Chain A
Amino acid sequence: MDAGEKVMEIIAREQHLDPSKVTMDATFAELGIDSLDGVNILFALEEEFKIDIPDAVAQNMKSVRQVVDSLTRVLEGKDVSDLAAMAKGGTPAVSN
């Protein structure tokens, strides 16, 4: 199973969604994933892959494909600072 399939499986599991609905092209908005759900999915990914996903990278994840791309790069140990830069001004997980 590649990272993409695993990500889709985890998103479906954490969101209690029919796995067929979770496609590579689906956005978080389409899947009804709000910011707190997003934090929960990141946590599940971190647990599954035994990695840390930095906050600045996390803020850039708004679709299944973005999650897979970012995750792949974190797994390959690549520099993710450009993702962090892109996330500047992005939406945070939660408020208050």
Chain B
Amino acid sequence: MRRVVITGMGVFSSTGKNRDPFFQSLVQGRSGVRTISQFDSSSLSIKIAAEIADYNPEDYFPSKRLDVLDKFAQFALIAAREAMASSGIAIREEERPRFGVVMGSGMGGAGSYDAGYHNLYAKQATRLHPFTIPRIMHNAATSHICMEFGAQGPALATATACSSSGHAIGEAFHLIKFGLADVMLAGGADAPITYGVMRCWEAVRVLSSGNGNPATACRPFSADRRGMVIGEGSGVLLLEELDHATRRGAKIYAELAGFGMSSDASHITQPTVDGPARAIRMALDEAGHRPEEVDYINAHGTGTRLNDSTETQVIKAVFKDHARKVAISSTKSMHGHMMGATGAAELVATVMALERGVIPPTANYTQPDPECDLDYVPNQAREKPIRVALSNSFAFGGLNAVLLVRRWG
């Protein structure tokens, strides 16, 4: 059986513009949540988000190229560049058909939709810019990455809301494992901090307002949690077939050993216990691990009342007595809910935790909740050797993706 290893990683987020500062911030418990600055948010009831500070697209792209790049595709390319550079890989011409890309996005080119329709409806324009379609399409991120790096193999986009990049990485993993590709870039990107999208989320009544203190707005598993915080950014990992990586002497960050996916088939917004539990068991089964071998779970942990109590029940259902021993943390407490990018950014955090033996904490944890009574690594990072770790993604619509990584060597 072909094995798949992670040999490159990139992140672009509110807590760091590449993977080292990203992980450092998480370990130090530093939040990227702040008052929205990219548009006038004063009329919103939710004025905060995990926004990337001082983002200047011209630092990354020539202006001609920016014309066809929505912000989500820009973010995707920035993280993909870091993933490629960190891997040291050079793809030979003849390898290109075996090199592919899977990127997830929940919202696609939301900002371009917003701007275009504002012109159409509010300003009574009768024409939209001809680049609108190439900017908004969900597969734009995948396609631009393929073009920049010459990936000519299997390439597709996933759109499963909050699980988009979990599914993207899982699908890319299986494409390599089952022989359809040797090297894949996989992850996700989203740029949902727009006036229109924030209004949509506001209406669902699941966002935390922060009450004047953005940094402490997202409090997963804490009794005083008040909801989630929208984030933006990207995460991309380079996945490589083991022999391919070994032959070129690649640095291996971790083995990607299991992927579970399931559907709740229950409700469009309320999660079940059974659906996510089945996804975790699938990931364990594929990797050949027993529940008690898992040392760390990077939780979905959104900070809503229902997600966090349900996820706690899920972990208890799968892990039984071990549920109280496994370390669990939600890094969304700091980088926010990065939507279609969140699973990828969280997998990078999980792999870095495993590599370095340091678990990033659940920030802003203030009081225990009887419905959330496990070890959430509150507020302080913890040194602990990790051999096996999980990254959970549970989406609106009941579509679940769970990834299992294992320490290499």
Contacts and interface: CB of A to CB of B under 8 A. Distances in A.
A91 B267 contact: no
A62 to B, nearest CB: 14
Given A43-B203, A96-B395, A96-B396, A35 B270 contact: yes
B269 A36 contact: yes
Taking residues whose C-beta sits less than 8 angstroms from the other chain, chain A's interface range is 10 to 19
Contact of B205 (A34, A89, A92, A96): A92
A55 interface: yes
Interface in B299-316: 300, 302, 304-307, 310
Interface residues of B, number: 25
B304 A96 contact: yes
A96 B203 contact: no
B203 A39 contact: yes
A55 B267 CA distance: 22
Contacts of B300: 96
A39 B205 contact: yes
B271 A96 contact: yes
Contacts, number: 63
A16 to B, nearest CB: 17
B306 A94 contact: yes
A95 B204 contact: no
A43 B202 CA distance: 11
Interface in A31-55: 34-36, 39, 42-43, 52, 55
A39 B268 CA distance: 13
A94 B223 contact: no
Interface string B234-271: 00000000000000000000000000000000011111
Given A94-B204, A96-B395, A34 B305 contact: no
Contacts of A34: 267, 270
Contacts of A94: 204-206, 269-270, 304, 306, 396
Nearest to B393: A96
A59 to B, nearest CB: 8
A92 B305 contact: yes
A90 B203 CA distance: 18
Nearest to B308: A95
Nearest to A38: B205
A58 B205 contact: yes
B386 interface: no
Contacts of B268: 36
Given A93-B205, A96-B162, A35 B304 contact: no
A43 to B, nearest CB: 7
A54 B161 CA distance: 26
Contacts of B305: 90-92, 95
Given A39-B203, A39-B204, A43-B203, A96 B267 contact: no
Interface string A74-91: 000000000000000111
Interface of A is mostly: loop
B227 interface: yes
A92 B304 contact: yes
A35 B269 contact: yes
Contact of A92 (B45, B162, B227): B227
Interface string B147-166: 00000000000000110000
Contact of A36 (B270, B302, B304, B307): B270
A92 B270 CA distance: 10
B394 interface: yes
A93 B223 CA distance: 16
Contacts of A39: 203-205
A44 B89 CA distance: 56
Contacts of B223: 89
A36 B118 CA distance: 28
A35 B205 CA distance: 10
A92 to B, nearest CB: 4
Nearest to B228: A96
Nearest to A96: B396
Interface string A55-75: 100100000000000000000
Nearest to B305: A92
B377 to A, nearest CB: 22
B298 to A, nearest CB: 16
8 contacts: A36-B267, A36-B269, A36-B270, A43-B203, A94-B306, A95-B206, A95-B271, A96-B206
Given A34-B267, A52-B45, A95-B307, 12 more contacts: A35-B269, A35-B306, A36-B268, A92-B304, A92-B305, A94-B206, A94-B270, A95-B206, A95-B302, A95-B304, A96-B269, A96-B304
Interface of A: 34-36, 39, 42-43, 52, 55, 58, 89-96
